[in-house]
Amino acid sequence: MKTKLFLIAMALSNAALAYESTEGPTGVIRYDRETAMAGYTLIAPAGVENVYLIDNTGWIVKEWKLPGGGHTELLENGDILRLGAATSPDNFVNWGGTAGQINQYFPNGTLRWSYTNVDVDSVLHHTFHQKGDGNSLVAVWERHSDTEALAKGRIQDAYLYPLFNAAGNPSRCARNTYCGGLWADSVIELDGQGRETGWKWDGWTLMENSVSADRLDINYHIPERAISNRSTADYMHVNGIDYDPTHELLLLTSRSFGEIYLIDFHTQQIVGRWGNPFATKTGPEPKWMNDGATQLWGPHGANFVASSASAVRVLVFDNGWMRPEDRRSRVLEIEFKKNAQGRWMPEPNVAWQYQTSAQQSLLTDFQGYGQRLPNGNTLIASSAMQHVIEVTPAGKVAWEFISPVFANGEIKCKFNAEENPPLTFFRAYKYARNYPGLRGLDLRRRRPFSLSCPLGPWLRK
């Protein structure tokens, strides 16, 4: 499969350069009042209960203290939807993204509803999306036994994590914990009270020992050199969910496959996919020094940004994880189109992308997110660098922020990414001033993260 590249903007000009450093000040380090969207940015650092809403100067206008962590959003009704942390003595899966619980809070921080899914055979993980009707779609890992996997055609070879060890006992997965079998991704729907509706997308039903555009190869494997870092018992590693009501499409992001999927919400079949032709054997296998035809490397958080009668556009964060030729993170906008028969065409276009001129600024092997803003700008969160930038359609950096929140919630004025980096965050979201979810919040009591940190250069002009 050849990918047609129609690059509307590729931000590499000197005027567009993001902060390229692994050491420097925290807080807002760039703010162009003329081009940055007026609004507020939500960040939820990992490992602490603090959830911050900040203005364009980097001052806190609202703070919640909520248990859990990871994916956190401010909803249109002013509620906070946030993953929780639930455990079970029967479940030992602790891959990145494990949660076990999702909670919705009223604007004042009290609990509206909670849903827990964690036991020996399943665990809620990574991400969610709340649809316009108030129902939420959440990602769940579900375990299938070694026998089931082998019956579906799972082959044990040098690339796949063995289902059994040399003694014939079930293998242990990440961090030497038992999980056994193969953990397939599913998506379940919860109603406005956190109860299961009965709707479910089950990735296991699409797994086969075969290769086709609408199936998942049960023997596909991530790059050989990544095996030491990840267990392939975590089969797809879905980390992004979205929904398009116009075409009734589910959108999923798979880190391990390096793909994004359009899925018919009713038939639950894959109707479009992009990112890694090798996963369907329609493109060459990447090698140590050759990307092959693969476009996405460990991607995160694909989301719909536009929808018309005959097309949808999707924004996706490409981490560049294990990419042989040019290991850097970027954000791409992908356009899927329908043909005259109403079917999604197999070769979507790259309509726009942003990447920095050097690796250090946005490179993150894990997490990360791109959000299209109402004014046309794009907010980009690089989780490993705790770095958030807002760029214009032409690729000019309009706003830039580095989190000052470190371990145990300590606030620091400087960071060093190698020695003592700030806490990571799953995503960042920015909301325009007229966003409905802000209406009931008191945002008048502004305060800095720390009085000891100097003002940003944009204030000293």
d(CA 445, CA 430) in angstroms, rounded, equals 19
d(CA 340, CA 437) in angstroms, rounded, equals 40
Q: How far is CA 237 from CA 15, 125, 186, 222, 300, in A?
A: 37, 9, 10, 11, 10
Q: What is the pLDDT of residue 18?
A: 67
Q: What is the pLDDT of residue 380?
A: 97
Q: Considering the domain boundaries, does residue 433 fall inside one?
A: yes
Length of the chain: 461
Burial class from Cβ neighbours inside 10 Å (0-12, 13-18, 19+) for residue 147 reads exposed
Handedness of CA 259, 383, 328, 312 (dihedral sign): positive
Q: What is the pLDDT of residue 224?
A: 54
Q: Considering the domain boundaries, does residue 72 fall inside one?
A: no
Most distant CA atoms of the chain, gap in Å:
69
pTM of the model: 0.91
d(CA 125, CA 102) in angstroms, rounded, equals 9
d(CA 424, CA 448) in angstroms, rounded, equals 20
Q: What are phi and psi of 84, to 5 degrees?
A: -110, -175
pLDDT tens track, the chain, 461 positions: 444 333 333 333 334 566 666 678 899 999 999 999 999 999 999 989 999 999 999 999 999 999 998 999 999 999 999 999 887 776 667 678 889 999 999 999 999 999 999 988 899 999 999 999 999 999 999 988 878 888 898 876 534 454 444 454 444 444 434 456 788 999 999 999 999 999 999 999 999 998 899 999 998 876 554 444 444 678 899 999 999 999 999 999 999 999 999 999 999 999 999 999 999 999 988 887 888 889 999 999 999 999 999 999 999 999 988 888 878 899 999 999 999 999 999 889 999 999 987 766 688 888 999 999 999 999 999 988 789 999 999 999 999 999 999 988 999 998 876 767 778 889 999 999 999 999 999 999 999 999 888 776 655 44
* Among 351, 349, 350, 382, residue whose Cα is nearest residue 365: 382
d(CA 179, CA 94) in angstroms, rounded, equals 10
Q: What is the pLDDT of residue 228?
A: 41
d(CA 272, CA 293) in angstroms, rounded, equals 17
Q: Considering the domain boundaries, does residue 119 fall inside one?
A: no
Q: Considering the domain boundaries, does residue 329 fall inside one?
A: yes
Please tell me the total count of domains within the chain. Answer: 1
Q: What is the pLDDT of residue 460?
A: 45
Q: What is the pLDDT of residue 155?
A: 78
Q: What are phi and psi of 442, to 5 degrees?
A: -85, 110
Name the residue range of residue 210's domain.
4-36+135-459
* Among 239, 233, 231, residue whose Cα is nearest residue 258: 239
Please name the amino acid found at residue 231: S
Strand duo 207-208 + 216-217: pairing = parallel
Q: What is the DSSP letter of 365?
A: S
Q: How many CB atoms lie within 10 A of CB 149?
A: 24
Q: What is the DSSP letter of 209?
A: S
d(CA 79, CA 96) in angstroms, rounded, equals 26
